[in-house]
Structure 1
Amino acid sequence: MKKIILLLFINMSVYAQNSNGTVSGIVKDNKGAALEAAALNVYPANTTVFADSTGHYTISVPEGSYTLSAEYFSYATVTKSITVKAGETLTQNFILIATENNLDEVVITGTMKEMSRSASPVPVEIITPKLFKKNPTPSLFEAVGMINGVMPQLNCNVCNTGDIHINGMEGPYTMILIDGMPIVSALSTVYGLSGIPNSIVERIEVVKGPASSLYGSEAMGGLINVITKSPEKAPVVSADYFMTSWGELNFDAATRTKVGKATSLLGVNYFNYNVKADKNHDNFTDVTQQNRVSIFNKWSFKRKDNRVAALGARYVYEDRWGGEMQWNKHFRGSDSIYGESIYTSRIELIGTYQLPTTEKIFTQYSYNWHNQNSWYGTTPYMATQQVGFAQAYWDKQLTPTHSLLVGAALRYTHYDDNTPATASEDGSVNKPQNTPLPGLFVQDEWTMTNKHKLLAGYRFDYDNNHGAVHSPRVAYKFSPDVQNTLRASFGTGFRVVNLFTEDHAALTGARQVIISESLKPERSYNGNLNYVWKLPAKPFLLNVDATAFYSYFTNKIIGDFDSDPTKIIYSNLNGYAVSRGLATNIELMFNFPLKLMTGASYTDVYRMEDAQRIQQLHAPKWSGNFIASYSLPNNYSMDITGNWYGPMRLPVQPNDYRPEYSPWFCTANIQFTKKFDYGLELYAGFKNIFDFVPKYSLLRPEDPFNQHVNDPVNNPNGYTFDTAYNYASLQGRRMFLGIRYSPM
C-alpha cells in the first residue's frame, strides 16, 4: 500500500510540473539600468519573486491566464496580461519609468555636476512641482516647508518678514541658488524664493549642512537650489490660479516661444491680498497686505555638440504693509497711526555658457540688485545691495575612476543702508560696504569600486578684512546593494560679515540696532551620517532615509535681545554654538493607489557663552511633516499634508506673562483634485483644518510708539511694544479653490 501511495504521489508531482509554465525576463529602467530587487507579482496566483542583480527573474506558475506586474520603489508600476501554457517559457521584459518621487533623479547641487541621486556621495533631498501642488502655495518660500527639517519661519507679527531655517539654523546660513547660481544676500531666503513662478520650476534640491567648499560664503547651514525648466521641454502654455476664503489671490502662468535657434520660457506670478483681518481683536492686521508681481524669462540657445548656453532674468516688486487697522499710506513714517510698510524692488540675472572647446569648461555668472524702502513705525530702513558673481570651472574625467572639478570664482558685494552697519565707528560718516571675495576650488570624485565612492574637496577664499579662508570637505558613500546606501561626510562652512539688516529691524521695528565690535567671519564644522534603505515587498514599497548631523560654530554673530528690550546688540559669540540632531523620512507606496510620506526631526540648537547654555530662538527640538495621497476612481484624488512642531524658545521681555516656549501644534491641509483631459485640473480644499492660531501675538498693541511705557498704573512691568514673539501664522482655517492647466 505504501508503495502505491508513493507511486501516485510521484506521478502527481510529475504531472504538476509538466502542467506548469515559466515566465522569465528582465526589468530595467528607461535608461537601461537593471533594477535589482524589482518585485514581480502574479495574480491571482499570488506569487511574488524579485529580480536578481542583473534584473532577471523567473516564475513558475500553472497553466492559465494571469496578470503580471513589475514594481520598484518610486517607479510607475507596469502591468501585463499573460497566458501561460504548460511546459513552455514565456518571455516578458519590463521597462519602468521613474515617478515624481524617484530616488534616482538627476541632481547637481551636491557636487556641481549632474549625476543620479543614488550615485551622489552627498545626500540631496528633492521637492517637485507635483509634490508641492498637493498643497498649493503662493510662493516657494512656503512650499519648501514640505521638506522635513526645512522650516519657513515668520519673524515678525506685523510685517511678516521671515527666513528659512535648515536644521534649526537661521536664514543667513541658508544659500539660495537659481539654476546653480547663488542669489547671495542675507535676505535671499525671503526674496530669493518669493515670487518665483511655480510654473517654471522643474524641481528644488536641498542639501543640509555646510557646502562652502564648492559654493563659498553663506553656505554654512545648507543650500536650496531652484532648478527651472528647460525652455525646450516646457509646455507651450501652463497656468494656475487659486483664491482663498481670506481673500488671497494668486496667479501663475508660463509660456514657451521659439525664435530661430533660441527658445524662451516666460513665467509670471502675481499675488494680491488686500483684505484687512483682525480676528484676534488687537486692532492690528493678522496678515500683511501684499501686492507682488514677479516676471521670470529664461532663454536657451541651441549650439553645436549640445553645448550649454542659457540666460535668465527676474524682476520682483512687492508692496506690503501691516499695522493698525486704520493705517493707510498717508501715515507711512508718522507717529500717529502705527504701520510697517515695505517697498521692495529686485532684479536678478543668471547665465551659463560652455566654452567651445574639446574640454568641458563652463562659465557662470549672476547679478542681483535689491532696493529696500521700509518704515517700521517711525524707524526708516533704506538699503541698496548689489551682488555680482562669476565663476569658471573645468569638469574632467581624468581616469575611469577619477572625476575632477577645478574652478575659480569672484563675488563682489556693494551694500549701503541707513543703519550702523554702514556707518563709521562714531556714526558721523556713511561708509557703504564694498566686499570683493575671490576663491579657488577643487574637487575629486573617486569611484573606488561599484560599491565605494569617495569625494574630496577644498576651497580657498580671500577676504580683505579677514584674510585667507580655507574650506575642506570629504564625503564617502558605500552601497553594498541597491537596497542599502550609507553616506558619511565632513565639511566646513564660513560666512563673511554681510549684515543686510532689514531682517534685524523687522524683528521689532522699535529696537535700535547696535554693533558692539568689529565682527569676524563665522566658521562652522559639520559631520553627517546618512543611511537609505529601500525595501520592495509584495504589498508595498518602503524607503527609509535617516540622517544624524552635528555642526559646531565659532565666531557666530549673535543678536542679543535680552540685555535691553529696546535694542538688538550684535557681536561675535564669546564661545561656540552647536546644531545637532537626527532626521528620518519614511515613504510608503502600496500596490493600491495610496502613497504615504512622513518625516520627523530632533534638533538641538544652542550656544555656550560664559559657561551658560542658551537655547536658540525659533528652533523647535521636535518637528515633522506628513503627506498622504489617494487616487480615487474617475480621475479624482485626495491629498492630506501638514507640519507639526514641538516647543520652541521665543524672545520674551522681563516679567513677561507670555510663556517662553511655544506649545506643540500642527497645521494640516486637505485637497481634492479632479483631472480632466488635456492637462486641465480643478482643485479645492482647506488649509489649517484644525484652525490653529497662536494664543499670544503682539505685546502692548495699544501703545505701539511706547509713549506710555513708564505709566506705573497701566504698565507696572515696563513692557514695550513687541512684534517678535511669533511661531506660527495668525491665519486660521480657510478654504481655497483653484484651476490649473499643465499639458504633459
Structure 2
Amino acid sequence: MKRFLAILLCLVAFGFEVFAQQTISGTVFERNASKKELPLAGASIVWINSNVGILSDTHGKFVLKTTNITDRRLVVSCLGYQPDTIKVISNTPLRIVLIETGKQLNEVVITQQREASMVSIQPRKTEILTSKELKKAACCNLGESFQTNTTVDVTYRDGVTGSKELQVLGLAGAYTQLLTENAPIITGLGSTYGLYGIPGTQIDQIHVVKGPGSVIFGPESISGMINVELKDPMRADKLFVNGYVDGFARAELNVDKTLKVTKDLNTLFSFHIDRYKQKMDQNGDSFLDNPMLQNINVLNKWKYESGNGLFSQNSIKYLHEDRQGGQVDFNFDQPHADHSMYGQQLVTNRLEFYGRTGFVMPSDNYKSLGLQYTYVMHNMDGYYGLREDDGQQQSLNLRLIYNQNLGKYNSVNFGASYRLDKIKEQFGDLYLNNDLSMPGVFAENTFTSKGKRPVSVIVGLRADVANGELVFTPRGNVKWEFDKNTDVRFSVGTGFRSANILAENSNIKVSNREIVITEPLELEKALNYGFNINRKFELNYRKGSLGLDLYRTQFANKIIPDYDTDPTKVYFSNLSGHSFANNVQVEASYYILKPVELKLAYKYLDVFRESDGVRITEPYVPRHRAVASLFYESFNRKWNANVTWQWFGSKKMPYLDEAYRGEISNYKELSRPYSMVNLQLTRHWKNFEVYLGAENLFDFRQQNYIVGASNPNEGFFDASYIWGPLEGRRVYTGFRYKIN
C-alpha cells in the first residue's frame, strides 16, 4: 500500500507541471421551437480538417485544445440540430447556439433521439441511464429504476417492511456511495428506506460507476457510486403529470411544474404521492405480503445561470412517510405492546437542502471555483413488534472545489471538505450514537494525451480525519483508446466508511434476536481494482457493442454480523481474517432490426471471507445472473415495447436449525434458481402517453419466508430468509402528460 501511495503521489506531482496554456472553452445551447435557449449536452465540437474534438458536458460546456491547430474554425453539430461552423479569433469563452432541424410531415415529428443508456467517454467508466431507459418500466422510485440493468442488483432486506437495497459488485448497498446531484443525501438513518424517497419521474439521469469513484466526492465509494441527476428547471417540460395504478391497488401521482422567473433564473416544483393501503395475505401466513404505505414528497429546485460565469443551483425537499407492516389482524390504532399480535410501523419526517454555487473565471486558462453544501434532518418514530425504534439525524456536508487547466494536457481539481453526522437511534434496549466529524482535503488531476491512440489518466488523493483517525485515500483511473471504437480502462483505489449497523442491517429489526456488539467497531476499509473493455461495432448497417468487466474488492476491515453462533442473538465484530468480492460481467447489445434492440448480459459473483482457514460464502448473493431484453420502437415513435427476462442462480442461505426449516419454502443450503419476466407497452401521442405493463409475468414467488410466523412476539422469529421474489404478478397501467 505504501508503494502504491508513493506512485500516486508522484503521478499527481507530475500532473501539476505547468505547460503553456492553449485551449478554448465555451458553452453550447439549443434553441427550440419556442425560441428558448437551453444548455445542450452531447454536442460535437471539432476543429475543421482535424480529429481533435470533444463533446459538451451535461451543462453544455466544453474545453478544447488549440495546440498545433492552424485552421481555427470549429464545426459544431448534434443530431437533430443544424450544424454550425465558427471562426475562432480569440480565447474568449464562446457562446454557441444550435437550432433544431425538426419538421412536421403528416404528424410525424423528426427530432433528436436520446440514447436510453450509454457509457461515458471519461477515463472512469460511467454507465448513464437516461429517462428514456427509465421509462421502459414503471420506475415508481429509485429502487425500481434498475429492472433493465445488470450492473445494479435490487434486493429485499426483509419480508415485513419492504426495505430494499442497491448492490454493486455483489456487496451490500452500504458499500455503494449514493449521491443526489453529487451530494451525499441518502446516508445514516435514510439508507434503510431512502430508495423510496426519490420518485422515478423526478430523475433525469442515473450515473453508475463500478469501483471507487472520484476522491472529490468522499472516501465512501468502495464497490461503486450511483449519482442521481434530477430534472433541470431550465430544460424540463413546463408541466408534467404522471399517474399510476396497479392490480394491488397501489396508486401514485406526480406533478412537475417549471417556471421561468427571469431570463437567468428558473424553478421546478414537484409533488409526489404514493399510497397503498390494501391488506393482502396470499400465502396464508397471517402476515401482510406488502407493507401499507403512504409517501408524500415535495421538491422545489432553483437554477440560476448568468451570462458572466456565475452559476447556482439549490433544492429543498420534504418527505413524510408512514409505513405499516406485520400481521393482517394487527390494529394500528391500539398500543403496539400487544403480545397476541405482531405489528410494525415507522413514521418518517425528513427535510433536505442541498445545492452548489460556482463561478467560471473568464481567462485563457479555464478556471472555476465552486461550493457544494448539504443539510439533512431526519426524524423517525415507530416500533417493530414489542421493540421501540426511534431515531434522529442531522447531517452537514460542505465541499469547496477549485478547477483549472494546467498546460496542454492536464486539468486539476483540489479543495477541502467537511462532513458532520449527528445520529441517535434507540431500538429496544439498545442506544446508539453514530456521530462522525470528518474534515478532509483532496486533489485530483486528469491527464489527456493526443494522437491516434490517446491515453487519459486520473490520479487522486484525499486525506481525512475521521473522529480523530487520519486516513489517506488514493485512487487512479486509466483509459486507452485503442481505436475509435475500442476503449480499455483500468481502475484502482481504496475507500473507507463508518458503519451504521442498525440502518444498514434492518433485517435484524424484524426478528427477536438480541444485538451484541462484541468490541469497538472500527472504520471499514477496502481496496478495489478492475479492468474493462468496450467495443462498438456496426454490422449490416446496424450498431452494436460488446463489453467485459473484471473487478475485485478486498477488505482490510469489515463489520461482520454473526447469525450462526447463537440463533437468539446477532454478534457484530470487526473482520478477523480476509474478505473478498470478485465480479465478472459480459454484456452485448445489437439492433437485430432497425427498430429492435437486443441486450444480453451475464454476471458472475464470488463473495466470501476466510476465517481461521475456513471459507465462508456471503449469503443471499447469486453466484450467477443473466439478463436479456428486447426493446422495440416504431419508426413513427408512437409505439414502444420492452420485454426483460432475468435469471438468478442459486444463493447461499444462512444456517437455520432443522426444527424451523419446514417454515421456509424450499429451504436448502443453496436456494433454487429462478427467473422473472417483465414487460411494458407504451403508446405515444404529441403530449400524452399511456403505458401498460406486468412485472413477474409468470407469477413466481417464494411462498414462505418468515420463521416463527405463528408466534412472532415470543420464541424464535425472523422474517429475512428471502431467496426469491415476494410479490406475485403485478399488472399496472399509467399515463404521462406534458406541455413542452
TM-score (norm 1): 0.81
Deviation (angstroms), 1:230: 1.6
Counterpart of 2:724 in 1: which secondary structure? coil
Match among 669, 677, 686 for residue 678 of structure 2? 669
Q: How many Å separate the matches in 1 of 2:318 and 2:540?
A: 50
Q: How many Å separate the matches in 1 of 2:655 and 2:496?
A: 30
Deviation (angstroms), 1:380: 1.3
Counterpart of 2:201 in 1: which secondary structure? helix
Q: Which amino acid aligns with 1:179?
A: E
Counterpart of 2:505 in 1: which secondary structure? helix
Q: Contact between 1:126 and 1:206, CA under 8 Å: does it hold in 2?
A: yes
In structure 1, stretches of 5+ residues that fail to align are: 1-28, 38-73, 79-92, 105-116, 424-430, 710-719
Counterpart of 2:196 in 1: which secondary structure? coil
Counterpart of 2:308 in 1: which secondary structure? helix
State how 1:172-183 maps to structure 2 within 5 Å: 172-183=174-185
Q: Contact between 1:196 and 1:269, CA under 8 Å: does it hold in 2?
A: no
Q: 2:581 aligned with 1:579, yes or no?
A: yes
Match among 286, 289, 301 for residue 292 of structure 2? 289
Match among 297, 309, 319 for residue 322 of structure 2? 319
State how 1:523-562 maps to structure 2 within 5 Å: 523-562=525-564
State how 1:36-47 maps to structure 2 within 5 Å: none
The equivalent residue for 1:411 is: 419
Deviation (angstroms), 1:732: 0.7
Deviation (angstroms), 1:448: 2.4
Q: How many Å separate the matches in 1 of 2:521 and 2:266?
A: 46
Deviation (angstroms), 1:189: 4.5
Q: Contact between 2:309 and 2:359, CA under 8 Å: does it hold in 1?
A: no
Q: How many Å separate the matches in 2 of 1:508 and 1:458?
A: 41
Q: Contact between 1:514 and 1:568, CA under 8 Å: does it hold in 2?
A: yes
Q: How many Å separate the matches in 2 of 1:729 and 1:646?
A: 13
Q: How many Å separate the matches in 2 of 1:470 and 1:184?
A: 24
| Cα RMSD for the two superposed structures | 2.7
State how 1:27-426 maps to structure 2 within 5 Å: 30-33=43-46, 99-101=114-116, 103=118, 117-118=120-121, 120-211=122-213, 213-260=215-262, 261-329=264-332, 330-355=334-359, 357-358=361-362, 359-419=367-427, 423=431
The equivalent residue for 2:721 is: 725
The equivalent residue for 2:88 is: none
Greater Cα shift, 209-218 or 198-207? 209-218
Deviation (angstroms), 1:332: 2.6
Deviation (angstroms), 1:356: 7.1
Q: How many Å separate the matches in 2 of 1:725 and 1:393?
A: 45
Match among 462, 467, 472 for residue 465 of structure 2? 462
Q: 2:481 aligned with 1:479, yes or no?
A: yes
Q: Which amino acid aligns with 2:675?
A: C
Q: Which amino acid aligns with 2:517?
A: I
Counterpart of 1:172 in 2: which secondary structure? helix
The equivalent residue for 2:738 is: 742
The equivalent residue for 1:643 is: 646
State how 1:595-610 maps to structure 2 within 5 Å: 595-610=597-612
Q: Which amino acid aligns with 1:296?
A: L
Q: Contact between 1:235 and 1:743, CA under 8 Å: does it hold in 2?
A: yes
1:131-157 CA-to-partner distances (Å, cap 9, x unmatched) read 121110321112134321311111111
Q: Which amino acid aligns with 1:412?
A: L
The 1:549/1:96 distance shift into structure 2, 3 A limit, reads farther
Deviation (angstroms), 1:102: 5.9
Counterpart of 1:199 in 2: which secondary structure? helix
Q: Contact between 1:331 and 1:339, CA under 8 Å: does it hold in 2?
A: no
Deviation (angstroms), 1:324: 1.0
Q: How many Å separate the matches in 2 of 1:187 and 1:35?
A: 56
The 1:98/1:516 distance shift into structure 2, 3 A limit, reads same
Q: How many Å separate the matches in 2 of 1:653 and 1:103?
A: 43
Deviation (angstroms), 1:191: 3.8
1:682-708 CA-to-partner distances (Å, cap 9, x unmatched) read 1112221111101431112111112xx
Counterpart of 1:131 in 2: which secondary structure? helix
TM-score (norm 2): 0.81
The 1:303/1:400 distance shift into structure 2, 3 A limit, reads same
Q: How many Å separate the matches in 2 of 1:608 and 1:210?
A: 23
Q: How many Å separate the matches in 1 of 2:138 and 2:592?
A: 25
Q: How many Å separate the matches in 1 of 2:703 and 2:639?
A: 37
The equivalent residue for 2:514 is: 512
The 1:207/1:226 distance shift into structure 2, 3 A limit, reads same
Q: Contact between 2:118 and 2:129, CA under 8 Å: does it hold in 1?
A: no
Q: How many Å separate the matches in 2 of 1:417 and 1:592?
A: 55
Deviation (angstroms), 1:100: 1.9
Q: 2:706 aligned with 1:693, yes or no?
A: no
The count of aligned residue pairs is: 633
Deviation (angstroms), 1:370: 1.4
Greater Cα shift, 646-655 or 172-181? 646-655
Q: How many Å separate the matches in 2 of 1:445 and 1:617?
A: 39
Q: How many Å separate the matches in 2 of 1:101 and 1:638?
A: 13
The equivalent residue for 1:448 is: 449
Q: How many Å separate the matches in 2 of 1:648 and 1:292?
A: 32
Q: How many Å separate the matches in 2 of 1:505 and 1:244?
A: 27
Counterpart of 1:541 in 2: which secondary structure? strand
Q: Contact between 1:212 and 1:220, CA under 8 Å: does it hold in 2?
A: no
The 1:362/1:262 distance shift into structure 2, 3 A limit, reads same
The equivalent residue for 1:439 is: 440
Q: Which amino acid aligns with 2:351?
A: I
Q: How many Å separate the matches in 2 of 1:527 and 1:556?
A: 17
1:112-145 CA-to-partner distances (Å, cap 9, x unmatched) read xxxxx22x11111111221121110321112134
Counterpart of 1:232 in 2: which secondary structure? coil
The equivalent residue for 1:62 is: none
Deviation (angstroms), 1:209: 1.1
Q: Contact between 1:457 and 1:474, CA under 8 Å: does it hold in 2?
A: yes
The 1:333/1:449 distance shift into structure 2, 3 A limit, reads farther
Q: Contact between 1:212 and 1:493, CA under 8 Å: does it hold in 2?
A: no
Deviation (angstroms), 1:633: 7.0
Q: How many Å separate the matches in 1 of 2:279 and 2:387?
A: 23
Q: Contact between 1:172 and 1:187, CA under 8 Å: does it hold in 2?
A: no
Q: How many Å separate the matches in 1 of 2:49 and 2:634?
A: 29
Q: How many Å separate the matches in 2 of 1:458 and 1:735?
A: 49
1:329-371 CA-to-partner distances (Å, cap 9, x unmatched) read 1253432211121111211111101147553011000011111
Deviation (angstroms), 1:282: 0.9
Greater Cα shift, 644-653 or 360-369? 644-653
The equivalent residue for 1:588 is: 590
Q: How many Å separate the matches in 1 of 2:176 and 2:147?
A: 14
Q: How many Å separate the matches in 2 of 1:457 and 1:703?
A: 54
